[in-house]
Copies of this chain bind each other. A is one copy, B any other.
């Protein structure tokens, strides 16, 4: 039985939380020491603004937990973890420019607070800092680590390119959607787990298993993000509910509903998702948009696509956890399981 029993979760929950908190503190300290103070002001002010803008450090936590799950010490994975966070922040800054997003984590985006040019450079230099940080890792095969890290970068660019293509495309298949999220979201998550395995000195088989774990977890994570757009409450989620619908984003829910819906409902979906766009980060939507969100959500419910998405999340999470069976049965592995379930437990 690989899924954690509820009693076990309760038992270790506090200890796990404490440990994750400590790991996060290590990463924060590493990041603080990194961004130099003597470079061009706008550039490094904005870097600090992004890096310390309140991320949850999910990816660095995965790197370190994966390292521990193959028997490595957490300390050796801190630089690699920080490197992944920097790469993640690079993607956020550039994506926000591409999406015309005005706010992130409740604050103005870099190109809103400074300008597009600075946002471009901030993204670029964050990537440079990410590589610098990665190469401070002294454990593991540096060439393999660099390859894995760089594949993550290429994946994330390809995923974002597909996402942009889908915005313009008329017919996007669910299959295409999965390819996109596997690269855009899954790319960094899979890379984080694999990198942790490498830094921790895992065997080839263990590292492959960790990549597989990350692949499924990344998929579940993104599907769940799609779900949260319609089922979460604003306070918890921190984004506008129905934002994806108003923006006409081709999420799993929309594509699945399009696949299943009858002609009349298809037209409603089509109309609702091709009307005026909501700029990202805008928190209030108009009454008309609210009606569209309600209509689309009703269709989602009628055709059972919300249930389908939940089933997908459960299945992918379970596949992720199954992949970990290759690793030794330690509390570190249990913690990695616990953390992944925590990540996708925002809806259930």
Contact = CB atoms under 8 A, between A and B. Distances in A.
B128 A150 contact: yes
B158 A43 contact: yes
B153 A131 contact: yes
Contact of A157 (B94, B124, B131): B124
Contacts of A132: 147, 150-151, 154
A143 interface: yes
Nearest to A157: B125
30 contacts: A39-B158, A40-B158, A40-B162, A42-B164, A42-B165, A43-B157, A94-B120, A94-B121, A94-B124, A98-B116, A98-B117, A117-B164, A118-B161, A120-B123, A123-B124, A124-B127, A125-B153, A125-B154, A125-B158, A128-B154, A128-B157, A129-B154, A131-B131, A131-B150, A131-B153, A132-B150, A135-B146, A135-B150, A142-B143, A146-B146
A224 interface: no
B128 A153 contact: yes
Interface in A224-249: none
The 4 A-B residue pairs whose C-beta atoms are closest, nearest first, are A40-B161, A125-B157, A128-B154, A43-B161
Nearest to A125: B157
Interface in A4-36: none
B150 A40 contact: no
A100 to B, nearest CB: 10
Contacts of A125: 153-154, 157-158, 161
A345 B165 CA distance: 46
A160 interface: yes
A258 interface: no
Contacts of A158: 39-40, 43, 125
Contacts of A160: 121
Contacts of A66: none
Contacts of A129: 154
A191 B219 CA distance: 39
Contacts of A135: 143, 146-147, 150
A120 B97 contact: yes
Contacts of A41: 165
A323 to B, nearest CB: 26
Residue of A116, A135, A147, A165 most packed against chain B (CB within 10 A): A135
A3 B221 CA distance: 62
Contacts of A150: 128, 131-132, 135
A142 B150 CA distance: 14
Contacts of A131: 131, 146, 149-150, 153
A179 to B, nearest CB: 10
B120 A98 contact: yes
